[in-house]
Structure 1
Amino acid sequence: MAAQDKFSPVDVLSEVEEKFEMLQILNEKGEVVNEDLVPDLSDDELVELMTRMVWTRVLDERSTALNRQGRLGFFAPTAGQEASQIASHYALSEGDYVLPGYRDVPQLIWHGLPLTKAFLFSRGHYKGNQFPEGVNALSPQIIIGAQYVQTAGVALGLKKRGKENVAITYTGDGGTSQGDFYEGINFAGAYDVPAIFVIQNNNYAISTPRELQSKAKTLAQKAVAAGIPGIQVDGMDPLAVYVATKDARDRAVKGEGPTLIEALTYRYGPHTMAGDDPTRYRTSDEDSDWEKKDPLVRFRTYLEGKDLWTKEQEEEVIEKAKEEIKAAIKEADATEKQTVTGLMELMYDEMPSNLQEQYEYYKGKESK
């Protein structure tokens, strides 16, 4: 009994979990609650961050509408996650690599991917995966968690080449249940690579609630098993997300290895536009509670208090976004249609015999 009194795995677990407190700088009312951690961003930089977040919300609204009109293909709504997505990306440099999940198209756009390309990707057009030179990113990963393994590899490449850059990736809470998640952070930790792993914990893996996915009190604590730093942040607070990401990046480029960031956030729309109905597994009260935490409302209040943002500024950003989206979808519409045979020709220099018959069949159909 004496030995058991001195050692309790339960106590050790509780002690670890208690260390993962949520980092917050702006509360739901847009008030600073952690003055010492307010980032050293200029007024222009704060305005630019808000501009990008508002622009991204408009993109979500217009993309949802375009999807319903049949003018887009696969689309995963992003409204509610602007702070976790855009504020984390805002802490990066142009030379850093972004390895997104399928909900992370906004980060790609702000990293240099033309909006028309993003729309073509949604439609499954091969040109949507032809990134311009200098856009250091991979296409959105559809396989849940696979981007974590890829990021460990890209980051190792950056380290071996002596680059002062990082590779950043994103997944949802459901992605942390995948084997690739553990393999990625473990490999990254073992080799001290410059990687940033972001978990956008929006409470649901499609319809499975967070509490049924893992018994862990936080997802950030999963970093402990890989021997890397982990932190939980208020994912509706742009300043907190920015600070956590910038700190992770600063340490990574100094050779101090990877970081796991859990951002507590929420998606206001469905998991994807492919038939998911969130009203079947979320309550209106839950939606209402999270709407009060809206990252745009919170940051808007903060900037208005500093006389940096006005209703007129926001309306100008919204109208500009609508015009840019309208022009991009028009350009996507004008792009030549992708054909089955065209895709096969891109895939194969010499057509395998088992596909040659199919190729001839579709060639005949397309010529009519």
Structure 2
Amino acid sequence: MSSELAVRAKATAELTKIIRGESSVALYDLALDTMREWSASYVNELQDKIDHSSDRKLKNSKAMVRIKLLEGFFNFVNLTDLFQNVSSTMLLEKFKEKSGNWKLWVREAELDNFNIANIISAELLPEPGLVKERFDYRRFNNVFGELVKAQLSTYGDILAVDRQTLLGESYKAFDSLIGTISYAYDRKISGMVYSILKDNPVFFEDREIFHADHNNVVTKTSDFTADLSKALEKMYGQKYDYSEQIKEQLSIQPKHVITSPAQSLEASKVVGEYNKALSDEQKLSVLVEPRLIDFGGWFLSAGKEQSSICLYRLRGSDAPAVLTKNVMSTDGLEVKHRWDFDVAPVDYRGLIRVL
């Protein structure tokens, strides 16, 4: 390995730690040490060039020395590609670590392209039939369930990280930036999810998600225990009619009571009492959602596998990605972040509305 490659590798490793918030080394100090180790003459020539400049604004300007030095350092370590690679990995980590409560109950699936996808969401099959001797097997040409549509859209923005942030001494500045991007996508998805629950759009056979025909609506009373009992009865009682001859009970397991902060204390007391006699597999959890503050009701949801709401994402894309545009000597670093996804109802049996 050449001396230049060795210096670059060493600097890249330390810069990676700085971006990840794992090193308190000042970025300028790393740049100065690296450029001196790579070429002391480069640093001396840069200083000499500025000292002899006829431009009074540049002459003896320590700020300009810092800018030019960092610009050379960024090019030397290829900050554009490094930041993109490291920050995308960090985004994936942060998106999995911290997210809204939607991630506890919303199912996830992948789509291959941006075309409108027709999906049989419930993917149900009748219970296996008895095959008698010399009798044929029953034949089904597809799985059963409501036909729903999903289509990926691209979400993202360009964030200009100013020069002061790049030159600053703030420990974990880059790490905080990536966390901020992750949090923005989390809020976007949360908003889309709970807008569906509150707005109750028409989606299945010209009916709203929550509809009397879907057996997923409970009229709210002042008795939370009684309301929960009715909601549980409706979810456990969901059925599917495969045909006139085949009608079967489904096994949908309630998992979450999703409620506003104002109703959370009462919900916790009732759910806590209810859980005392249940196995861990059947216990309920209470999810407090601030987006339901202006909503007078609450929801009972199945777990992720049987959820009625789905986050669709492009195949292979598990989290938002960072695409660094360029490093500019005057403005700083341009960071483009994006993610291709859709949020849509996939079924109505895994949700009960109490309102």
TM-score by length of 2: 0.25
Q: Compare the two structures and name the one with the higher strand fraction.
A: 2
TM-score by length of 1: 0.24
Q: Which is greater in Rg?
A: 2
